[in-house]
Amino acid sequence: MRTRVSSLTSLFALLIGMLMVLTATAPGAAAAPRAAPRAVDCSRVKCIALTYDDGPASSSTARLLDTLKANGVKATFFMVGSQVARNPKTARRVAAEGHEIGNHTYSHKDLRRLTASKIRSEVARGATAIRNATGVEPTLVRPPYGSFNATVRANVNAPMILWSVDTRDWADRNASVVASRVIARARPGAIVLMHDIHPTTAAAAPRIIAALARQGYVFVTVSELLAGRALANGKAYSQR
């Protein structure tokens, strides 16, 4: 009898032990990764991140979104908070269609010229505008003009995303010129800088997407592009 009780006890102990192991290794028990919503491994696949700054603007952003949707392409929009406040419906559409939203500050000032507290407030107000309009909490910051110094680095409180391909689409308002620049300078792991406030940039998207898709590129968001890298607040990243 005594042996039987003790073997039953051991059996229970064993079952409880197995249950604990199963619970500990269950998916969801581990810390969630920063962002990897799709199964794209950019260490193996030819990835590229198209990024669009300074919007949302109602008509050119909508036209661009139509093109991205028709081609199943995901991009990243670094939104300016004051623009989000002006065009909340377009901002919501960007989020609803699965694109990433990054914070491009509230009023697009050169952060190097601001005090630490003004830098923090520009970033925080940008994030608040995005959160209020879309429900999305942006995790990445793109400093306006790509401009930063030690004070900026210490106060943005997020990884800073720059770019490796500068299209200068704001200077050359010509869809063909913009598309040719992107196609000529595309590299695996690149981050391409464009601005969705320009109709010519929206008009360049179909040619960019067709040409790069033909070369085997997969279009990913910045978080997907940088997945697997440990991103640090105040550090700048310009490609994979």
Residue nearest to Zn ion (CB): 53
Residue 166 annotated in active site: no
DSSP H/E element including 219: strand 218-219
Question: What is the SS3 assignment for 77?
Answer: strand
Would strands 100-103 and 47-53 be described as parallel, antiparallel, or unpaired? unpaired
Give the per-residue contact string, 128-167, with Zn ion (x = CB under 5 A; - = no): ----------------x-----------------------
**Least distance from C-beta 106 to Zn ion, angstroms?**
12
Cα(22)–Cα(231) distance, integer angstroms: 31
Say whether residue 196 binds Zn ion (CB under 5 A): no
Say whether residue 54 binds Zn ion (CB under 5 A): yes
Cα(189)–Cα(101) distance, integer angstroms: 19
Cα(143)–Cα(141) distance, integer angstroms: 6
Among 99, 195, 196, 198, the active-site one is 195
Cα(220)–Cα(100) distance, integer angstroms: 9
The dihedral region occupied by 82, where left means phi > 0, alpha psi between -120 and 50, and beta the remainder, is alpha
Residue 195 annotated in active site: yes
**Least distance from C-beta 35 to Zn ion, angstroms?**
22
**Least distance from C-beta 187 to Zn ion, angstroms?**
22
**All residues at 6 or more sequence positions from 27 whose CB lies less than 8 Å from its CB, including other chains:** none
Cα(216)–Cα(45) distance, integer angstroms: 9
Span from 39-47, 53-61, 171-179, 183-191 in contact with Zn ion (CB under 5 A):
53-61
**Least distance from C-beta 75 to Zn ion, angstroms?**
15
Structure tokens at 28: 């969801």
Say whether residue 169 binds Zn ion (CB under 5 A): no
The residue (of 162 and 213) whose beta carbon lies closer to Zn ion is: 162
**Least distance from C-beta 171 to Zn ion, angstroms?**
13
Structure tokens at 97: 């269609």
Query: Which of 53, 122, 196, 224 contacts Zn ion by CB under 5 A?
Result: 53
Among 53, 54, 169, 196, the active-site one is 53
Judged by the rule CB under 5 A, the positions of this chain that interact with Zn ion are 53-54, 144
Active site residues: 53, 195
